[in-house]
Amino acid sequence: MAKEITPRSENYSQWYNDIVVKADLAEQSAVRGCMVIKPYGYAIWEKMQSILDKAFKETGVQNAYFPLFIPKSFFSKEAEHVAGFAKECAVVTHHRLMNNPDGKGVVVDPDAKLEEELIVRPTSETIIWSVYKNWIKSWRDLPILCNQWCNVVRWEMRTRPFLRTAEFLWQEGHTAHATSEEAYAEAERMVNVYAKFAREVMALPVVVGHKSPGERFAGALDTLTIEAMMQDGKALQAGTSHFLGQNFAKSFDVQFTNKEGKLDYVWASSWGVSTRLMGALIMAHGDDNGLVLPPALAPIQVVMVPIYKSEEEHQAVLDKMYALKKALEAKGHSVEVDDRDTLRPGFKFAEWELKGVPVRLAMGPRDIQNGTVEVCRRDTLEKISEPLEGLEDRIIDLLDDIQKSIYAKALAFRDASIRKVDSWDEFKEEIEKGGFLLCHWDGTAETEAKIQEETKATIRCIPVDSAVCLEEGKCVYSGKPSHQRVLFARSY
């Protein structure tokens, strides 16, 4: 009856792909690795955008827009940066097509070769710092707090919808400051904005921490991250915020006169989240019936399905439904009455479950008689019969409860997944079970690489919560002394 979804236990990866496609979130396009975000998926992304945008602006950030293209020479000014991105970028080499002289169609016009190739931005530090050079002369011009919502391209070899695509949508904040402390504080402020958004809006209990040097953004002195745990035991990096030091200012010669009248290089942060958050949302909360959306992000929070035989019954039910819809909408909730006459109620139920709508109401002639309605919550699939009287307020409470319950469930799952592991044998055994392993690490890149090589696990982060990680011990791999535990996991 409903569109079939592969159970998670059978094939988690296929379950994910099924939900993406069958809940109408996105689909592959004819262009390698580029997806089409369908209206239902895009509506969720728009809600994310609007809530994040407001949170950014509350901290004083302004939106702006910088070019899609980056001259190849800019791209290579910061050595680590180019090393990090050069191998997977789309390169524009020509600016014209011409009729094929040998036959049908069009070909690239060889006379329209660009003097300098342009890179489609994989991230915009280089082009933005070339612009900031013109904006910054004195400490009075600082700080600059700009964000842009845009598309970026990274030519990934293996792509998956939302999680890893050649083109994706994101926001990238780029800030410029007079001191190291201010730039660092900005990077911290923004990772906390992300963490709050993840927890309160996405119902995603993320761990905030630092990346190890080996996992840092190319060009950063420190990368802060929010890491989430998916239901299959793999971690997912959901957002990052970088302290860039003076690296980009030096590469683009951006100096300012400080309050003491001396020239100094400008300090920087950058931070971003992307449509990858959609992947996290699906994998953290979905079940074998489909998507489970936290009410704060659901494009439709309440769906109502009328049940009737006669046209008279139909009208009586619709009258009640539209009255309730109006009352809920007046309080800012999004409601849909599914009055399609070509589909049976059972089909509709399954479809709205698949799409993750938090609350479903069904009402038939008997309900009208009894003054009741059937209320089904998506997260637990519980159904109860509720009196119509005063229903509006109880639905609003229910939405609130669902938001909290989804978070609580994910939090319990995450916490149960975190285990302290102190021996290498145990590590190898435990990593197979998934989840976060909280282990001592000797702080060297060699050990980190060896662990990844042998187990595919990486350091997801060094948690900022010192109660969790600050402790003396011995490296789980090398046995060398360690001052703190870090979080290992396999990851998306």
Residues at the contact surface with a copy of itself, assessed by CB under 8 A: 27, 29-31, 34-39, 42-43, 45-46, 62-76, 82, 86-98, 105-106, 108, 117-120, 127, 130-131, 134, 140, 146, 150-151, 153, 155, 167, 169, 342
Computed from CA positions of residues 186, 199, 470, 424, in that sequence, does the dihedral angle turn out positive or negative? negative
Contacts of 138 (CB under 8 A, 6+ apart): 256, 257
Pick 72 or 485: Cβ nearer a copy of itself = 72
Pick 43 or 388: Cβ nearer a copy of itself = 43
Pick 14 or 73: Cβ nearer a copy of itself = 73
Pick 225 or 251: Cβ nearer a copy of itself = 251
Pick 154 or 414: Cβ nearer a copy of itself = 154
3-state secondary structure of 306: strand
**Shortest distance in whole angstroms from residue 109 CB to a copy of itself:** 8
> Locate tokens 């997806």: which residue?
35
User: Which residue type, as a one-letter code, is found at position 294?
Assistant: P
Pick 70 or 375: Cβ nearer a copy of itself = 70
Pick 8 or 77: Cβ nearer a copy of itself = 77
**Shortest distance in whole angstroms from residue 210 CB to a copy of itself:** 30
Rounded to whole angstroms, how far apart are CA atoms 209 and 205? 13
**Shortest distance in whole angstroms from residue 190 CB to a copy of itself:** 17
**Shortest distance in whole angstroms from residue 27 CB to a copy of itself:** 7
**Shortest distance in whole angstroms from residue 141 CB to a copy of itself:** 12
**Shortest distance in whole angstroms from residue 24 CB to a copy of itself:** 10
For residue 413, which of 229, 277, 280 has the smallest C-alpha distance?
229
**Shortest distance in whole angstroms from residue 63 CB to a copy of itself:** 5
**Shortest distance in whole angstroms from residue 48 CB to a copy of itself:** 13
Question: Helix axis angle, 276-285 relative to 12-22, nearest 10°?
Answer: 110
Per-residue tokens: 376: 């089904």
Rounded to whole angstroms, how far apart are CA atoms 211 and 221? 10
Q: Residue 381: enclosing H or E segment and its boundaries?
A: none
Q: Tell me how crowded residue 347 is: count the other CB atoms within 10 A of its CB.
A: 15
Length of the chain: 492
Pick 74 or 427: Cβ nearer a copy of itself = 74
Per-residue tokens: 326: 């109006």
**Shortest distance in whole angstroms from residue 108 CB to a copy of itself:** 5
**Shortest distance in whole angstroms from residue 446 CB to a copy of itself:** 25
**Shortest distance in whole angstroms from residue 223 CB to a copy of itself:** 23
Which pairing describes strands 359-363 and 302-306: parallel, antiparallel, or unpaired?
parallel
Phi-psi region of 479 (alpha: psi -120 to 50; beta: other; left: phi over 0): left
Pick 107 or 384: Cβ nearer a copy of itself = 107
Using omega within 30 degrees of 0 as the cis cutoff, is the peptide bond preceding 463 cis?
A: no
Cβ–Cβ < 8 Å for 300, 361: no
Computed from CA positions of residues 340, 341, 345, 346, in that sequence, does the dihedral angle turn out positive or negative? negative
Pick 29 or 370: Cβ nearer a copy of itself = 29
Pick 128 or 421: Cβ nearer a copy of itself = 128
Cβ–Cβ < 8 Å for 347, 412: no
**Shortest distance in whole angstroms from residue 300 CB to a copy of itself:** 12
Rounded to whole angstroms, how far apart are CA atoms 233 and 286? 14
> Locate tokens 């009894």: which residue?
370
> Locate tokens 């139909």: which residue?
314
Pick 117 or 313: Cβ nearer a copy of itself = 117
For residue 153, which of 122, 128, 119, 125 has the smallest C-alpha distance?
122
Rounded to whole angstroms, how far apart are CA atoms 63 and 65? 7
Q: Distance from first CA to last CA of the chain, Å, rounded? A: 32
Rounded to whole angstroms, how far apart are CA atoms 132 and 90? 24
Per-residue tokens: 353: 């479950």
